[in-house]
Amino acid sequence: MKPDAPAGAASTAVADPKPIVSLTDVEVHYALGGSSVGRLLGRSRGVVKALDGVSLDVAPGEIVGLVGESGSGKSTLGRAVLGMAPVTHGTVTYRDSVISGLGDEAFRPYRRKIQMIFQDPAAALNPTMTIGEGIEDALKIHRIPEAERPRRVADALERVGLAPAGRFIPKYPGELSGGQKQRAVVARSICLGPEMLIADEPISMLDMSVRAKMLDLMEGLRRDLGIAFLYITHDLASARFFCDRIAIMYLGRIVEIGPAEEVFEQRQHPYTQALLRAIPDISHRKDTVTELPRGEIPDAARPPLGCSFHPRCPKAFAACGWEGRDLRTLLEERWTGLGLDVYRRESALVKGLDAVRTTVSKDGAVSVIPSSDPKELARIVEEMRAAKPDEPFFSALRGMRVEHGGLRLDLAPFRQPLLTPQAGRVGRVACHLYPSDGVGAPGAGIRESGAAAAD
Ligand SMILES: Nc1ncnc2c1ncn2[C@@H]1O[C@H](COP(=O)(O)OP(=O)(O)OP(=O)(O)O)[C@@H](O)[C@H]1O
Ligand code: SF4
Ligand SMILES: [Mg+2]
């Protein structure tokens, strides 16, 4: 079974257990620029790992939510399903057909079955076409016979609540409210009889007053027409009541997935816990509103080693993937409490820290930090360790030595946490705090960092 097969699909009112759409170990890696000579030689300045090994099934009539901070890969996942993002590894299948890697023409029949609803309805509608013409245009593109089109246009409009259809067919998008425009977009997507809609933040640009109605509309499409949804959102409250399952994404990976209620009520991954705590409590539990953990989302072109959440994780420990550049956060915390002179002197010692290369093996990670005075840098690190002995970075620091104009740090072995089922739960979580099924043993999933600095 795949790591995140639709265990939660059992909770939906779906009779057909066979997924409509399956992603298996999908990667979408974008090559970064690099020099023109480098590109000619096939070399680039590394890759942005927009999706980095995602497996996910969506069952007929199922609503799966994709949640995560900006840049976590939610839209890329939706675009990969629709052939709009290049799948560099793994496969996307629709029913039993592989649809990743198809050209435009070969993909066309599937585009009828899987449609996208974007965030901005105004941008999705052609302002020079009436609503009727816009929907008919979609039918024309997919070669629906002319005689059938008027009925399909009217049916779609009435289905989304733009009724009577005759009133809306001659209107231009500019004559509709935001909510009506989004309904027209939905009408355009359903006129071809899709089995799945990918809704990328479909309510975020709408007035608060119409958001719930739009979700009701989508829920009705699932109930009456059996349409499945991939619902991409930052709005966790709506995900909770609208979705059957929720996948929490971080830096191109799913870190937790399960039935919506389970993910909210028994959240396990420290990132899920932080993300859900950072919103006002929408249940009756008294969670306080807190900030997300320290630091920003790391650069997807240079993801952290091991568990990519480790630099921000409040529960991280030695085996989570520490490396030399993680010293940056600790140094910044130290400098906050010391004067400008100290900051200037010490930051000059570690100028190359962000680009430091780390090599990894089953014995752990080795980072060499270039420094004008590695001995002094070692003294500072020891001082920091004495001040914060419980800091997980130091629990991973096995040794230091001065070497080739730099300070060599030997760090603990680590593993890439993989989505693993947990006893007594339907969902899966990727975190070393929870028992693993043995996949991802020490050394597995290890990858080298610092690739961006390679050439
Ligand atoms: N065409 C592209 N070329 C290079 N990098 C890209 C491209 N598209 C997306 N990315 C990068 O991939 C990562 C994931 O982007 P994506 O748009 O999927 O995130 P998201 O979760 O949808 O974010 P948001 O919530 O802001 O919409 C980001 O680091 C983004 O910069
Ligand atoms: S594996 Fe778990 S504990 Fe370790 S950094 Fe990742 S989320 Fe935190
Ligand atoms: Mg997005």
Q: Tell me the mean pLDDT per 10 residues along the chain, length 455.
A: 39 63 97 62 72 97 96 96 96 96 93 94 95 97 95 97 97 96 97 97 92 96 97 93 97 97 95 82 45 74 93 94 93 88 91 86 93 94 94 96 91 94 94 72 39 27
Using DSSP, state whether 183 is helix, strand or coil.
helix
Query: Do 62 and 87 touch, CB atoms closer than 8 A?
Result: no
> Where are the domain boundaries for CATH 3.40.50.300 in the chain?
7-277
With a Cβ cut-off of 6 Å, ligand 1 is lined by 30, 48, 50, 68, 70-76, 300
In this structure, which ligand is nearest to the CA of 44?
Answer: 1
How close is the Cα of 21 to the center of ligand 2, in Å?
A: 29
Q: How far apart are CA 446 and CA 413, in angstroms?
A: 9
431, 434, 436, 446: which to mutate for ligand 2, most atoms within 8 A of CB? 431
How close is the Cα of 312 to the center of ligand 2, in Å?
A: 9
Query: Do 437 and 17 touch, CB atoms closer than 8 A?
Result: no
The confidence score (pLDDT) of residue 6 equals 39
In this structure, which ligand is nearest to the CA of 73?
Answer: 1
The atom number, within ligand 1, closest to the CA of 201 reads: 27
Sign of CA dihedral 435, 437, 443, 445: negative
Number of neighbouring beta carbons within 10 Å of residue 188:
24
Q: How far apart are CA 337 and CA 20, in angstroms?
A: 55
The confidence score (pLDDT) of residue 16 equals 56
Name the closest-CA residue to atom 1, ligand 2. 431
pLDDT for 138-185, tens place per residue? 999 999 999 999 999 999 999 999 999 999 999 999 999 999 999 999
The alpha helices in 169-294, defined as continuous H runs, are 178-190, 208-225, 236-242, 260-265, 270-277
CA distances from 429 to 66, 256, 272, 295, 438 (A): 15, 4, 10, 22, 14
Strand order in the sheet with 364-370: 358-361, 364-370, 406-411, 397-403
| 52 φ, ψ (degrees, to nearest 5) | -135, 65
With a Cβ cut-off of 6 Å, ligand 2 is lined by 269-270, 307, 309-310, 313, 315-316, 320, 417, 431-433
- 136 Cβ contact list (under 8 Å, min separation 6): 149, 153
The confidence score (pLDDT) of residue 58 equals 97
48, 204, 249, 254: which to mutate for ligand 1, most atoms within 8 A of CB? 48
The atom number, within ligand 1, closest to the CA of 300 reads: 29
How close is the Cα of 73 to the center of ligand 1, in Å?
A: 6
Q: How far apart are CA 398 and CA 345, in angstroms?
A: 26
How close is the Cα of 112 to the center of ligand 3, in Å?
A: 22
Query: Do 70 and 297 touch, CB atoms closer than 8 A?
Result: yes
How close is the Cα of 210 to the center of ligand 2, in Å?
A: 39
Query: Do 419 and 3 touch, CB atoms closer than 8 A?
Result: yes
Using DSSP, state whether 15 is helix, strand or coil.
coil
Token readout for 23 is: 């992603």
Domain 7-277: give its CATH code.
3.40.50.300
The confidence score (pLDDT) of residue 292 equals 63
How close is the Cα of 54 to the center of ligand 3, in Å?
A: 16
In this structure, which ligand is nearest to the CA of 249?
Answer: 1
Name the closest-CA residue to atom 17, ligand 1. 75
One-letter identity of residue 21: V
Buried b or exposed e, range 381-418, using 16+ CB within 10 angstroms: beebbeeeeebbbbbbbeebeeeeebbbbebbbbbbbb
The atom number, within ligand 1, closest to the CA of 73 reads: 18
Numbers of helices and strands, H then E, in the chain? 16, 16
The confidence score (pLDDT) of residue 297 equals 82
How close is the Cα of 318 to the center of ligand 2, in Å?
A: 10
One-letter identity of residue 276: L
The confidence score (pLDDT) of residue 401 equals 95
